[in-house]
A and B are shown apart, each in its own frame.
Chain A
Amino acid sequence: MAETMTSTTSTPVKSMALAKAINESLRTALDTDPKVLIMGEDVGKLGGVFRVTDGLQKDFGESRVIDTPLAESGIVGTAIGLALRGYRPVVEIQFDGFVFPAYDQIVTQLAKMHARSLGKVKMPVVVRIPYGGGIGAVEHHSESPEALFAHVAGLKVVSPSNPSDAYWMMQQAIQSDDPVIFFEPKRRYWDKGEVNTEAIPGPLHKAQVVREGTDLTLAAYGPMVKLCKEVADVAAEEGRSLEILDLRSVSPLDFDSIQTSVEKTGRLVVVHEAPVFFGSGAEIAARITERCFYHLEAPVLRVGGYHAPYPPARLEEEYLPGLDRVLDAVDRALAY
C-alpha cells in the first residue's frame, strides 16, 4: 500500500483507501483492547468479501477474528451474549440486504437491553454494514436501510464519507457503550484520502461543513457527500455558492449544525440513496422547518431513491441520485 508522509512533523499522515482505513482502525482496536472481537461471514481467512478485515485473523488469531456460520441473527445474537460477558464485538453483515434476519436481534434485543436493565447492562456492539448502490450488483447488494435503524431508540447510526472519518468514526464506535450501526459506503471503499492516525477527532455525532457556501445547503452522508461536492463544483461554474454539510451521523442527527447552515443560506436540499419516503431527509425537513421557519426561502427538498424495490443494476443510475437530479433540486430550491 502506498504511504506518503505529507507532514514534516512526526505525525503519521497516510494516504489510504476507505476500506483500508477501516481495516487499520479495526487493527488498532484489536491491538489496544483485548476485549474487541471481529465476527462475521468470511471475515477471517478471506478477509471479508471487500477485504476490510484482511490480515486480521492472521495477526490476531481465530479466537478474536471469528468466521461465523452463515446466520445473521446468530451473529448478532451471540455478539449480544459476548457483550454481556464483557467483550466488545464488531460484527460484519456482509451486505446491506442481508441484515434483515438479524433485524429482530438488533431491534428487539440489542437496542433495548440497556433500558430493559435500567442501565445495568451495556451493549458495546458495532454492526458494520457495507451499504448503498452504484457497483452494478445483483439484488440485495445495494440497499440503504439506515432509516430503519435510525427509527429505533437505543441504536446509534453513523456513516463515514471519507477514509479519515472511516478510521476515526470506527474507533469511536468501538469505544461507545451503545450499539452503533456503522454503514460503510461500499462504492467509496476504494477512494483514497489522508488519514492522520494521531489526530484528535471531533465528536462522533457532529456534522462537518466540508465546503462553505452562501446560497444553499446540501446535506448528505456516506456515499452522497462526494456527489454533493461534484454538484457544488458545477453550481459554482454557474455562479452559485453551495454549502455542503457531511452529516456523518444519522442517529443522533446534528440538527444544530444543519440549523446554523440553513440560517445562513436559507435553502436546504437533503441527498441520500435511501428512498425519500420516510427517509432521513423527511425527518430533517420536518425539524428544520420547525427550527428555521423564518429563515427558509424555499421548502426543504429531498433527493433520493424512489418508492420501488432497488432496481436491477442496469437501472440503478435512474434510481440513484446523480449529478443532474441533485442540480435539478438545487435549481428548484433557488427558484423560490
Chain B
Amino acid sequence: MTVESTAARTPRRSAGTTGAKSTAGKRSTAKKSPSGEPELVQLLTPEGKRVKSAEYDRFVAAITPDELRGLYRDMVLTRRFDAEATSLQRQGELGLWASLLGQEAAQIGSGRALRDDDYVFPTYREHGVAWCRGVDPSNLLGMFRGVNNGGWDPNSNNFHLYTIVIGSQTLHATGYAMGVAKDGADSAVIAYFGDGASSQGDVAESFTFSAVYNAPVVFFCQNNQWAISEPTEKQTRVPLYQRAQGYGFPGVRVDGNDVLACLAVTKWALERARGGEGPTLVEAYTYRMGAHTTSDDPTRYRHDDERAAWEAKDPILRLRRFLEASNHADEGFFAELEAESEALGRRVREAVRAMPDPDHFALFEHAYADGHALVDEERAQFAAYQASFAEAEGDN
C-alpha cells in the first residue's frame, strides 16, 4: 500500500515531460565497463575535458560561464574554509574537525542543484552543502569548538543540524519528505550519508519507508572509500548504488569529483522527487583526501599512492582546466578568488577566536520545551552551589 502515492502524491508533471520516468528503470542496472566496474556518470574528465551524456546533458545545458565560475568559487572557498578549520584545530581553537577535502565537487554539485524550499539532512562533514545553503561557515564551528551541539536554526536555511550518528538522518529526511507530500508541496528533500553509514539499519529502513510511501527524497551517498579505517569492501559486496534496485527505486553512480556531473545527476533525482516519482539513490564516487577527523591517523591503514592517484582526479583542478581551456575565466578571476579565499580564512579565524564560552547555566537550557520539574530543581541546586563560592569570597 502506498499511502502517499495514491492520495497526495499524484505526479504533477504533464505526460510530455516524464522523460526521467521512462529512463528511471534503466539506471538501476547501469552499464558495465569492459573491466566489469560500473560506469560512472561523468561530464568532465580529470583533464577538464567535457564529455557528452545523452541522459544528463539537459540538466546542465543552460549553464552559463558565470555559473561555472560560481561552482569553482564555491569549491575553492569551501576548501579554504576547511583548511582554516583544520588549522584552528591544530592551534587548539577547535576540539575536532572533520575535513571534507576531496569531496568539494560532490557537495557543491549536489548543493547547487537544490532549490531554496528543498530541505537538507546532512551528516557532520557537509560543509560544502552548508555553504550552498547560505549557512555562515563560522556557525558550523560551534560544535567543533564545544560551545554548542549545533545551534543554527535548521529552518532558516532548510539545512538540518549535523547528525553525528551517521544513519539516523536518512529516516528524518524520509519523514520530512512524507510530510512534504502530505502538504501537497513540490519541494524535495535530500539526505546525505556515506559508505560507512550505508551499513546502518536506519539507512535500510529509510529506503523501505521512502519506497513504500513514495516520498520525495534523494539519498545522496558520498562514497569516499573510507569509513575511518575501513574500506568500502568492509561495508558492501555490491556497488552501493545497486542497493536501490532491491527497494524498487533507481540508483546511479556519479563521478563525485566532477561537479558538473554531480549537479546534473542531483537535478535529475530532484526532478523525479518533485514529479511524484519517489526516492532516488545517488552514489557519488569520491575520495576522502584527508583523515577521518583531526584525531585520525590514516598512515596506519592506507598507502600514500592511493591518495596520489586520487589527487590526479582533483575536483577543483579539473574545473579550472575546463574554465581555462574554454576561456571562461582569466587570471584576474583566479587572483580575485585567491584574495577572497584569504579574507574568508581570516574572517573564520577571527570569528572562532571571538566565540565566547557558553554561560554555565546553558547546560540546563532547552533540555525540554515545556520545562521539567527536576531540571528546575537541579538548576536551583547548581545556582546555590555556584553562589556558595561567591559567598566564600565575600567572607574572606
**Of A67, A83, A115, A120, which contacts B153 at CB under 8 A?**
A120
**Of B4, B149, B182, B208, which contacts A69 at CB under 8 A?**
B208
In contact, A254 and B373 (Cβ under 8 angstroms): yes
Nearest CB of chain B from residue A174's CB, rounded to whole Å: 13
Q: In the complex, which residue of chain A has the Cβ closest to the Cβ of B174?
A: A78
Q: Is B355 an interface residue (CB 8 A)?
A: no
In contact, A81 and B172 (Cβ under 8 angstroms): yes
Q: Is A48 an interface residue (CB 8 A)?
A: no
**Of A78, A85, A115, which contacts B367 at CB under 8 A?**
A115
Q: In the complex, which residue of chain B has the Cβ closest to the Cβ of A84?
A: B176
Q: Is B77 an interface residue (CB 8 A)?
A: no
Q: Is A77 an interface residue (CB 8 A)?
A: yes
Interfacial chain B residues near A68, Cβ < 8 Å:
209
Please report which residues of chain B, range 167-198, place their CB below 8 angstroms from some CB of chain A when the two chains form the complex. Answer: 168, 170-180, 182-183
Q: Is A212 an interface residue (CB 8 A)?
A: no
Interfacial chain A residues near B80, Cβ < 8 Å:
none
Nearest CB of chain A from residue B341's CB, rounded to whole Å: 30
Binds B, one of A102-110, A162-170, A315-323: A102-110
Q: How far is the CA of A82 from the CA of B174 in the complex (A)?
A: 8
Binds A, one of B95-103, B154-162, B297-305: B154-162
Q: Is A297 an interface residue (CB 8 A)?
A: no
Q: How far is the CA of A68 from the CA of B179 in the complex (A)?
A: 15
Greatest chain B CB density within 10 A among A112, A120, A205 is at: A120
Interfacial chain A residues near B171, Cβ < 8 Å:
73-74, 77-78, 80-81, 105
Q: Is A116 an interface residue (CB 8 A)?
A: yes
What class of interface size applies to chain A in its complex with B?
Answer: 35 or more
Nearest CB of chain A from residue B176's CB, rounded to whole Å: 4
In contact, A74 and B7 (Cβ under 8 angstroms): no
Q: In the complex, which residue of chain A has the Cβ closest to the Cβ of B168?
A: A109
Q: In the complex, which residue of chain A has the Cβ closest to the Cβ of B372?
A: A252
Interfacial chain B residues near A71, Cβ < 8 Å:
205, 208-209
Nearest CB of chain A from residue B172's CB, rounded to whole Å: 4
Q: Is A199 an interface residue (CB 8 A)?
A: no
Q: Is B312 an interface residue (CB 8 A)?
A: no
Q: How far is the CA of A61 from the CA of B212 in the complex (A)?
A: 17
Q: How far is the CA of A62 from the CA of B178 in the complex (A)?
A: 13
Q: Is A306 an interface residue (CB 8 A)?
A: no
What class of interface size applies to chain B in its complex with A?
Answer: 35 or more
In contact, B172 and A104 (Cβ under 8 angstroms): no
* Contact status of A77 and B148, CB under 8 A, knowing A104-B165, A108-B168: no
Nearest CB of chain A from residue B50's CB, rounded to whole Å: 38
Q: Is A122 an interface residue (CB 8 A)?
A: yes
Q: Is A234 an interface residue (CB 8 A)?
A: no
Interfacial chain B residues near A87, Cβ < 8 Å:
179, 182
Q: Is B380 an interface residue (CB 8 A)?
A: no
Q: Is A25 an interface residue (CB 8 A)?
A: no
Greatest chain A CB density within 10 A among B1, B3, B161 is at: B3
Nearest CB of chain A from residue B313's CB, rounded to whole Å: 35
A-B contacts, 28 of them at CB < 8 A, read: A62-B3, A62-B6, A62-B7, A67-B3, A71-B208, A78-B171, A78-B178, A78-B206, A80-B175, A81-B171, A82-B176, A83-B175, A84-B154, A85-B175, A85-B176, A85-B180, A85-B183, A101-B201, A105-B168, A105-B171, A108-B165, A114-B368, A117-B151, A119-B365, A120-B155, A121-B154, A252-B372, A255-B373
Task: Identify 19 new A-B residue pairs, CB closer than 8 A, beyond the known A74-B174, A85-B178.
Answer: A62-B7, A63-B7, A63-B8, A67-B3, A69-B212, A74-B202, A74-B206, A77-B168, A77-B202, A77-B205, A78-B175, A81-B177, A82-B178, A85-B179, A85-B180, A104-B202, A108-B165, A117-B161, A120-B153
The 8 A-B pairs with the shortest beta carbon distances in the complex, nearest first, are A81-B175, A77-B171, A85-B179, A78-B175, A74-B205, A177-B369, A81-B176, A81-B172
